[in-house]
Amino acid sequence: MVSDYFENMNTSSEKSLWNLFVEGDKNAFSSLFKTYYSPLYSYGLKISSDQCTTEDCLQNFFIYLHKNRRNLSEINNVKSYLFVSFRRAILKNLKQERRFSSYDEIFESNHLFAFSPEELKIEQEISNTKNTALAVLLNSLSTRQREVVYLKYYSELSIKDTAEVMNISYQSVLNTLQKAFSKLRNEIVEQEISAVLQKK
């Protein structure tokens, strides 16, 4: 399938497919939608904590991309561009709904980027109890730390792309990750939980 092929493409091929989308190729647009709908939805849900808001915003985002494809600037990394643009779109939507008065207030909300035991990428033999313990540890991090961990390890973005999505410097991402893991190490008491984190 085209979408399966797209998932395994290198950056050069990815840009080629993006160019086809910009030119109006329906299969290219379908591939973009199928490949990125789920990861963008998961990321948006972390920000909004509302399924309907996330779904509506994501659908409107893809509609906007399709309608304005010929006016989109040239991009180097499709995945990074989509995460950056969708983050901006959903934050704008939340602010317009007056659920938050500013972007800073959105990210001061402690419920953002809560990890659940079910979504943690841990080996199947690890028990639900260990998953829950790890989720509790991750949720003890600050909102910014949780977002960096989510983008870097769960959305599999590079440090550079994570910095671009969050609109912070490369060094800030490194510092945030260092502080996050330092805090996790300080809070990990059970040796088996420590072993789980080392496998990730």
User: Which pLDDT score is estimated for 38?
Assistant: 94
| Two tokens, residue 166 | 């969050």
Q: What is the model's pTM?
A: 0.75
Of the pLDDT bands very low, low, confident and very high (cuts 50, 70, 90), residue 105 is low
Q: So what's the pLDDT on residue 115?
A: 73
Q: What is the pLDDT of residues 40-84, one digit of tens each?
A: 999 998 888 889 999 999 999 999 999 999 888 778 889 999 999
Average pLDDT, the chain: 79
Helix (H, G, I), strand (E, B) or coil at 170: helix
Rg (alpha carbons) of the chain, rounded to whole number:
18
Confidence of residue 130 (pLDDT cuts 50, 70, 90): low
The whole-number pLDDT of residue 84 equals: 94
* pLDDT value of residue 192: 47
Residue with tokens 């647009």: 29
Read off the pLDDT of each residue in 161-177 and give the average, rounded to a whole number.
93
Are 36 and 82 in contact, with CB atoms under 8 Å apart?
Answer: yes
pLDDT given for residue 187 in this prediction: 74
All structural domains of the chain: 2-107 (1.10.1740.10), 113-199 (1.10.10.10)
